[in-house]
Chain A
Amino acid sequence: MIRALLWILGAVVLGGIVHLATVLAMPRAANQDAYSRLEPVTPANSVVPLAPPTAEASVMPFMDPAFAAAVCRYDLANGIVKLNAPLSQAYTSVTFYTRNSVAYYAIDDRAAGRRAIELDLMTPEQHSQVPEGEDVTAADRLIIESPTRTGLIILRALAPEPGLMPMARRALANAQCRLGPVQ
């Protein structure tokens, strides 16, 4: 009897370990996460508009239909990424995600000020290669460190009314995301 209870206890403890291991492994094993869905349809390091969600099809679940959206799938292997997103008339935001869909930075039009959101995206190693004197320019170009080499930048512009959707799309169409030298 005691021996059977010991077997069950051991099994439950082992089950707990299996549970924790599978939860932690899930983000790496997933083949339907946002990055995997966008990888085949978007070239690296350029801004691609995302199709608006409809009842029939949606690139990702739970997309906000009031927004025009575009994505820049980045790969920092060959340099840093320079992002320039002009502001639309209503609300514009840029959110940075790691390869595993963790939102590590987000900025909206009000926080960015001026007429465009301008950012330099680099890995911590690339950031450490930026010469000391160059930090002076950091005042007018925001530097963001990406925890992963690849990831997603989602640019979104609000259409406060359905009729303003073309305006929001035009604003995003002028956004740029391109590879730059580390210096």
Chain B
Amino acid sequence: MRLLFGSCFALLLAAAVGLGMTWLTISRGVAFGTMTVGAWTAWPKTGSVDIDPYARATIARTGELPLGTGDGVAFYARTDDSGYVLDGRCTFTISGTTPTARYWTLTLYDRSGRLVANTLDRHGFTSTEIVRDTAGRFTISVAPRARPGNWLPTGGIERYVLVWRLYDTPVGVASRTTKQDPMPAVARKACS
């Protein structure tokens, strides 16, 4: 009787522990081979055959196709440089310089990877579209209401993800240190 009770308990606990850990790692993402620069994080190995089993499982579940390593590298930001969660009701600015790349694009998604509806039908910028100052630097305002200059509308949603994709770039393939690749700074301004 005691043996039966014990084994039943052990099997249930094992199932709970195992499935719980799987659910946690797949939904939160596990940090293997990450490359973090300020607020931006990339997983360069996800776009190659060296992809780790956790990233494979995550991709299989979400249905996305990772950017191939020979194509480019994608950096994701969920917070600003000081750790504030990106909130669509606030204004955030993205400024500075980008690492070497032939082209880059910046796109705003909701947390499940969908584009966000807005009146302008604008979901991001490409490196050729952006307005720069005389020194070649740029500032992008990510805000719910219209701003002069490079305005990226948030549609007022609560949480969003910014994805910076560098195309035809040595980043992630050649570079190992983060100092070589300065990414633009993300800073929180006013909240409405």
Contact = CB atoms under 8 A, between A and B. Distances in A.
B65 to A, nearest CB: 5
A80 to B, nearest CB: 20
Given A16-B18, A26-B26, A106-B68, A65 B124 contact: yes
B35 interface: no
A40 B90 CA distance: 41
Contact of B51 (A19, A21, A29, A102): A102
A64 interface: yes
Given A18-B19, A19-B17, A33-B63, A158 B56 contact: no
**In which size bucket is the chain B interface?**
35 or more
B163 A62 contact: yes
B13 A8 contact: yes
Contacts of A74: none
Main secondary structure of the interface of A (DSSP, over half): mixed
Nearest to B49: A104
Interface in B101-126: 102-103, 105, 107, 109, 112-118, 123-124, 126
A161 B113 contact: no
Given A18-B18, A33-B59, A7 B10 contact: yes
B133 interface: no
Contact of B70 (A56, A100, A105): A105
Contacts of A105: 68, 70
B136 interface: no
B160 interface: no
Contact of B14 (A3, A15, A96): A15
B134 interface: no
Given A15-B16, A154-B65, A3 B6 contact: yes
**In which size bucket is the chain A interface?**
35 or more
Contacts of B49: 102-104, 147
A158 B72 CA distance: 13
Closest 8 CB pairs of A and B: A18-B18, A61-B113, A106-B68, A15-B17, A106-B70, A14-B14, A55-B117, A30-B60
Interface of B: 6-7, 9-19, 21-22, 25-26, 47-49, 51, 53-54, 56-57, 59-72, 102-103, 105, 107, 109, 112-118, 123-124, 126-129, 155, 163, 165, 167-168
Interface of A: 3-4, 7-8, 10-19, 21-24, 26-27, 29-30, 32-34, 36-37, 53-56, 58, 60-62, 64-67, 90-91, 93, 95-97, 100-108, 110-111, 147, 152, 154, 156, 158-161
16 contacts: A8-B13, A11-B10, A18-B19, A23-B22, A33-B60, A37-B63, A55-B114, A60-B65, A61-B109, A66-B107, A91-B167, A95-B67, A103-B47, A103-B67, A110-B168, A158-B103
